[in-house]
Amino acid sequence: MNANEPRPAPVTAAPASLTGTLIGSALVAALGGLLFGFDTVVISGTTDALRSVFTLSDWGLGFTVAIALIGTIFGSILAGRPADVLGRRAVLIVLAVLYFATSLGTAVAGDWTSFLIMRFLGGVAVGGASVVSPLYIAEISPARYRGRLVAIQQFNIVLGILLALLSNYFIARLHLGASEWRWMLGVMAAPSALFFLLLWTTPESPRWLVGRGQIDLARAVLTRLGVDGVSVEQEIADIRASIDPEHHKEGESLFRPAYRKPVLLAVAIAAFNQLSGINAVLYYAPQIFKKAGADVDSALLQAVAVGGTNLVFTMLAMLVIDHFGRRRLMVIGSIGYLISLGTTAWAFITYGEKFTTIGNAVVLAGLMLFIASHAFSQGAVIWVFISEIFPNRVRAAGQALGSATHWIMAAVISWTFPIIVGKIGAGSVFVFYASMMFLQLLWALFVMPETKGVPLEEIQRELGIE
C-alpha cells in the first residue's frame, strides 16, 4: 500500500465468543463427521448377511469391510488440493452429494462387485470429510475455542457411530428378512441430503479467502465469526504473513525440511490412533461379543452400549480439551488403554472358547473402558491436533497426510482383524494393541507438544517454521 493511500478503517469484530455464525458453521461442517461415523460403522450390523448373500470367506469379509477404508485413503489424499483450489465449503458440498449417492447405491447393489464399488466411493467421501471438515472448523475458530469446536467433529463422528449401531439394532428388531441389511445401509441418504442443504448457509473459510486474495470477503466473515483479542485488520495481517507469498509459492511440497516436525507429529498421532485397535472393535463389536458368549440380540445391544460410552466420554473431552490441553488427555487415555486392553486380553486368553457370564461381563467392561479411554483422549485430540500443527499455506496438505495415515492404518487393522483372530486368537491381538498403547504413552510424555489456546499462526513459529 502506498503511504499516501487511505488506510482501511479499523474493523471491530465480534469479541472472541461463541457467536451464532461460528457455532452454526462449525455444527454444519461437523455433520460431515456424523456421516463419517455412521458410514464406516453401519456395516457392522450387516456382516453376517453379507457373508451369506455374497458367499464370502474370512478374507472376502475382511476385504468387504476394508474396501470403504481403502476409499478413505484415496479420499483423504485427493481432498487437500481441491480444498485449496475450490474452497473448503465447495468440497464439502461435493462430499455431501457423494454420501447421498453411495448410501443408496450400497442399499440396491445387486452383486458383490457393485457393492464394493459403492462402498469404495462412500469411503472416498469419508476420507474427504475427515480432511476438510476439521480443516474448515479450525480455520474459522478463535484460538480459545478451537479445541472445543474442532472436537465437535469427533463428537459427531461418535454420534454417527452410535446412531448407526442404534439403527442396526432397531432395524434388526423389525425382522425385515432378506432386505434387512439393505435398509441398514440405505437410511444414511436422509442425513446426507440434510448436510447438502445446510452447507449452503455457511460462509467460506476466512483463511482460504485471504489466500485467494479475497480480503473484503475475509474481513466480512471474520467480523461475523469473531477474532482473538485483536482487530480484524490485525488478524488478516497475521494470516497474510503466515502465508507469505513472497517466500512460499502456492502448492509447495509438504515434504520440505521446514515441515518435518509437523509431518512426523501428524503421522505419529494418526498411526497410534489405529494401532489401539479402535476400528477393529467398532467394526466387529457384535462378532467380538459373540466370541465372548453373547447371543445375536445381546451382541447388538452390547455394541450399542459401547457406542453410548463413546458418545458420553467424547462429550466430557469436549468440555475439558481447551482447559486440560491435548497432551494431558493423551496421557490419561493411554493409561486407560493399557488397563482396558490388558483386561480384555486376559479374558480371552483365560476363557478361550468357553466363556461364562462373568467372562462376557469382563469383556464388556473392558471394551467399555477402552472406548471411554479412546473417546476421552485420542478420539477427541487427533483431528484437533492435526488441524493445528501445519502452517496456513500447507494446512490442507498436512490434514490430508494425517488423515491418509489414519485411514491406511484403519484399512490394515480392519482387513486383517478377522484373519488374525482366526489364526492366533483374540487375546493375542489385544495384547499387541496394548503394547502399541505403551509406545503411545511414551510419545505423549516425551515428544508431543501442547497446542491449547495458541493461535494457528503462533503454533507454526513455536514449531520452528518461518
DSSP one-letter code for 230: S
What percent of the chain has pLDDT above 70? 91
In a domain, 239, yes or no: no
Q: Pick the residue with more confidence: 271 or 153?
A: 271
Looking at residue 134, its pLDDT comes to 84
Reported confidence tier of residue 342, pLDDT bands at 50, 70, 90: very high
Whole-angstrom Cα distance, residue 287 to residue 209? 48
Here the CATH number for the domain that contains residue 69 is 1.20.1250.20
C-beta of residue 283 within 8 angstroms of C-beta of residue 303: no
Our measurement of the distance from residue 197's CA atom to the centroid of its chain's CA atoms, rounded to an integer in Å, reads: 22
In a domain, 238, yes or no: no
315 grid coordinates = 462429550
Query: How many domains are there within the chain?
Result: 1
- The region of weakest confidence among 85-99, 196-210, 218-232 is 218-232
Q: What is the mean pLDDT of residues 28-37?
A: 86
In a domain, 15, yes or no: no
Quick check: 408 pLDDT over 80?
Answer: yes
Q: What is the mean pLDDT of residues 165-187?
A: 86
Stated pTM of the model: 0.72
Looking at residue 226, its pLDDT comes to 67
Looking at residue 91, its pLDDT comes to 93
Q: What is the mean pLDDT of residues 359-374?
A: 89
Mean pLDDT in the chain? 83
Reported confidence tier of residue 246, pLDDT bands at 50, 70, 90: very low
Quick check: 329 pLDDT over 80?
Answer: yes
Integer CA distances (angstroms), 174 to 162, 168, 326, 435, in order: 19, 10, 43, 42
Looking at residue 425, its pLDDT comes to 86
First to last CA, the chain: 24
Whole-angstrom Cα distance, residue 130 to residue 383? 8
> C-alpha angle with apex 429: 425 to 431, nearest 5 degrees?
120
In a domain, 214, yes or no: no
Reported confidence tier of residue 11, pLDDT bands at 50, 70, 90: very low
Quick check: 80 pLDDT over 70?
Answer: yes
Whole-angstrom Cα distance, residue 409 to residue 403? 10
Looking at residue 327, its pLDDT comes to 94
Looking at residue 296, its pLDDT comes to 61
Looking at residue 7, its pLDDT comes to 42
Quick check: 348 pLDDT over 70?
Answer: yes
Quick check: 233 pLDDT over 80?
Answer: no
Looking at residue 15, its pLDDT comes to 44
In a domain, 256, yes or no: yes
Q: What is the mean pLDDT of residues 90-99?
A: 93
By the 10 Å C-beta count (0-12 exposed, 13-18 middle, 19+ buried), 68 is classed as: buried
What's the domain range around 273?
20-202+244-462
Reported confidence tier of residue 198, pLDDT bands at 50, 70, 90: very high
The dihedral through the CA atoms of 24, 29, 32, 38 has a sign that is negative
Integer CA distances (angstroms), 65 to 116, 166, 186, 273, 423, in order: 9, 19, 16, 19, 19
Looking at residue 252, its pLDDT comes to 64
Reported confidence tier of residue 235, pLDDT bands at 50, 70, 90: confident
Looking at residue 193, its pLDDT comes to 93
In a domain, 168, yes or no: yes
Any residues with CB less than 8 A from the CB of 453 and at least 6 apart, and which?
143, 144, 322
Residue 325, φ and ψ in degrees, nearest 5: 95, 165
C-beta of residue 127 within 8 angstroms of C-beta of residue 403: yes
Any residues with CB less than 8 A from the CB of 197 and at least 6 apart, and which?
none
C-beta of residue 321 within 8 angstroms of C-beta of residue 148: yes
Whole-angstrom Cα distance, residue 144 to residue 157? 22
Looking at residue 227, its pLDDT comes to 67
Quick check: 5 pLDDT over 70?
Answer: no
Looking at residue 250, its pLDDT comes to 52
Highest-confidence segment of 30-44, 108-122, 372-386, 435-449? 435-449
Looking at residue 339, its pLDDT comes to 96
In a domain, 327, yes or no: yes
In a domain, 234, yes or no: no
245 grid coordinates = 507469498
Q: What is the mean pLDDT of residues 353-370?
A: 85
